[in-house]
Amino acid sequence: MGRVDVTMEVCGMAGDGTIAAGGLLNEAMSAGGFSVLGFDSYPAEIRGFGRCVTRSRVGTERILALVDKTNVLISLDDVQSHSRVPYLAWDAAVFFDSNPPVYVEEEMSLAARVEPGATLFAFPMADLAAAAAGTMRGRNLTALGGFAAAFSVPRDLFIEVIAKKFKAKGSRVLDANIKSFDAGYAYGLEHFSDRLRDTLKPPPGIKTGPEKVMLSGNLAIGRGALDAGLKLYFGYPITPATPIMEYLAARLPEKGGRVVQMEDEISSVGAVLGGFYAGARSMTATSGPGFALMTELITHGVMAEIPAVILNAQRGGPSTGLPTKTEQSDLHAAVFGGPGDSPRIVIAPTDVEECYRHTVMSFQLAEKYQTPVIVLTDFYLDNRVENLPMPQATESEIADANEYPDESVRGAYKRYLMTDSGISPRSIPGTEGFTFSATGLEHVEKGTPNYTEDNHMSMTEKRHRKIAGALEDLPAPVEYSRGGPLDVGVIGWGSTFGAILEAVNIANERGLNVGALKITSIFPFHGGVIRAFMNRCSEVLIPELNYEGQLANLIDHLHHKDVVRLSRATGVPISPSLILKEIETLALAGA
C-alpha cells in the first residue's frame, strides 16, 4: 500500500460555502478510509468580507499534526486565495474558477500568482453549476467534483456524504447539490489530464477496524461530559468554548440534565460548585478571560473541598488577546492562579480522543479528591476535527467516586476529618445526621472557622497531601522512543504533542536517536518519571505555544542542566518541521 499524505485547503470568501466544502471533503476522505485531521480558520469578525480557509491533511497513516505545505488548493475566490500561495508546495494542484461570478482583473487572477511548478485546474465552476442545477449556489460542490475527478476519488464517497448532509433539507436541495457535484466531476473526467490520477484513490484494504466518526475536540468534550453523567452545565459564551455549551444545550435535557447560560463566568463556576456540593455532576467551560474571573471561586473549591470541573479552552492572550487564535499560555494560571496555597488538579488532553477521555476522567477525579479539576485544551484542539472510532467510557470510568461518611459517625460528623490520604468523607445535603457547613475560611475538622497557627499548617498540609495523592489516578507520561540514552528528548503537552511526535518519528527515520515524552497530567505531575526521562537525554527540548515556556517553567528544575525551550507565540499551531529543525540542530551540536 503506497503511503498517502496530502494536505488540502479550500479557500473562499465568507458566503462561498468554503467551510461546508471543507467539511464534505473531510467526511468523504474519512469514508474512504483515510486518516483525517482538519482545522478551519476564520476571522473574528462575524460578517464582512472575511476569508475562510479549511485545511485538512489526509493520509494512510494516522495524521498527528498539520504541516506547513499545502498540496491541493481548491479556490472559490481568487483574491482571497492569494494569501495561500506562499503555503503551497512547489508542485501543488490548484483548482479555481475560470469564469468566477465576481470579475477578477487578469493580474489578480490566481493563475497569475502561483509558481511554475504547480498544476492548474481551471474550470468554469459557476457556469457548470448553473447549467446543471439552475443555480450557481452549488458551485463549491462543483469544485469538489472537479477535484474528485482529478484525484480519482470515487464519486460514491462524495455522493454518500452529500446525501447525509443535505437529506434533511429535502429532495430538491439534495438533487441540486448532487447535480452541481456531478457537473464538476464529469467535466474533470473529460478535461483534466491523468497526471494526478490515483493519488487519492483509497488503497485496497485501507478500511479496517470499527467505523470512524468525524469529531472535533469540542464535540468530544461535550460527548464525554454527557457519557460521564453530567447533570448541570453552567456557562457564559466565549470563543472557543461556546460550542460545548451549544452541544450540551441540545443534548443534556434529553438525559434529564440542564444547561443554564449564566450572567458571567463567576456565577457559572459558582453554580458549578453549588451543584457539585449538592451532589450533582456539574461543569463549566470557558477560555482565558473567563477563567481569570473564575479563579477566586476555584480556590474556594480548594479550601472548602468542593468538586468542580472547569474546562479552559485556551486562546491567545493576555486579556481579550487573540480570540480566534490558538495558544497554550494559561498553564501558569491553571496551576497557580488565585490566592493562597491552593493545589488543584490540572490535566491537558493532546488529541480529540483524549478530549473525550480526560473529560470523562475529570468528574471522578473531582469527586474522589473533592477539588476543582481544570481541563486545559486550546483553540486548535477544540476546533480541529479528527476521524476516529467513537470513544466509549466504561461503567467503572463513570461510577460515583464520592467517599461518603460512615454510619458510625452519624451525629458526630467531621466534614474535614484529618486522614492519611487527606480525603475526608463528604456528605451530600439532604442526608440526615451528617449536616455541616463548608467554608472558604480556614477551619478545623468540624468545619468551624479557626485561624490558629498549628491548625492552618496542618490543614494546608492535608490539602496538599490530598492533591499529591491524586497522582496515582492520573495518567502517567507516555514515552515514544527506542529506549536507552537519547541524543534529544522532546517533552510536550496539549495540542502541540502531535507535531512533536511526528518530528521525532521523522528524526528517527533519518537516523537520529531521539524520543518524545507526552505529559497530560500537568498538576500534580509525575516528577520521578519526567526526571528519569530527562536524565537519559543529552538535551531536553520543550516546544510550546507560549512565550514564557510555561511547562518548561514547571518542570525544568527536574533536569540537571537547562532545558531548551522552543516557545512560539504566533497564534497558529506549531509545525513538525520547525520542531524537527530544532531537534537536528541540537543533535548535531551534541554529536
Partner 1 sequence: MKTSARDLARKVQGIGEAKTFEVRSSELPTWCPGCGYFGIHHGMNDCIRKLGIPLHKVVTVSGIGCAGRYPFFTKTYGLHTVHGRAVPVATGVKLANPELTVYAVGGDGDGLAIGGGHLPHVCRRDVDINYVLFDNSIYGLTKGQPSPSSPQGMKSKASPMGTTDKPLNPTLLALSYGASFVARLFAGDKKMISDVLLEGTKHRGFALFHIYSTCVTFDKSYKTWENLKKWIHPLPETHDPTDLRQAFDRVLEDDWSVGVIFKREQPE
Residues that bind partner 1 (CB under 8 A): 231-232, 234, 258, 260, 262-264, 266-268, 270-280, 282, 296-297, 300, 304, 429-441, 447-449
Please give the Cα distance from 245 to 234 (Å, whole number): 8
Helices 352-369 and 217-227 pack at an angle, to 10 degrees, of 40
Please, which residue, 83 or 437, has the CB nearer to partner 1? Answer: 437
CB of 319 to partner 1, least distance (A): 20
Please, which residue, 436 or 480, has the CB nearer to partner 1? Answer: 436
Residue 402, burial from CB neighbour count under 10 angstroms (0-12, 13-18, 19+): middle
CB of 249 to partner 1, least distance (A): 15
CB of 282 to partner 1, least distance (A): 6
Please give the Cα distance from 247 to 223 (Å, whole number): 8
Going 304 to 266 to 317 to 475, the CA torsion angle's sign is positive
CB of 288 to partner 1, least distance (A): 20
Please, which residue, 269 or 355, has the CB nearer to partner 1? Answer: 269
DSSP state string for 518-552:
E--EEES--HHHHHHHHHTEEEEEEEESSSS-HHH
- Which one, of 214, 212, 436, 172, lies nearest residue 305 by Cα? 436
Distances from the Cα of 211 to the Cα of 87, 208, 360, 588, angstroms:
33, 8, 22, 44
b/e sequence 246-267, b meaning 16+ C-beta within 10 Å: ebbbebbeeeebbbeebeebbb
- Mention every residue, 6+ apart, whose C-beta is less than 8 A from residue 42: 14, 19, 50, 51, 52, 53, 324
Q: Looking at 316-389, which runs of residues are DSSP E strands?
A: 345-347, 372-378, 385-389
Torsion of CA 543, 549, 550, 555, to 10 degrees: 80
Please, which residue, 79 or 271, has the CB nearer to partner 1? Answer: 271
Identify residue 264 by its one-letter amino acid code.
D
Please give the Cα distance from 99 to 141 (Å, whole number): 16
Please, which residue, 137 or 231, has the CB nearer to partner 1? Answer: 231
Please, which residue, 278 or 471, has the CB nearer to partner 1? Answer: 278
CB of 295 to partner 1, least distance (A): 11
CB of 430 to partner 1, least distance (A): 6
The answer to whether 498 and 351 are in contact (CB under 8 A) is: yes
CB of 223 to partner 1, least distance (A): 22
CB of 311 to partner 1, least distance (A): 17
Please, which residue, 185 or 277, has the CB nearer to partner 1? Answer: 277
Please, which residue, 203 or 440, has the CB nearer to partner 1? Answer: 440
CB of 458 to partner 1, least distance (A): 20
Please, which residue, 222 or 275, has the CB nearer to partner 1? Answer: 275
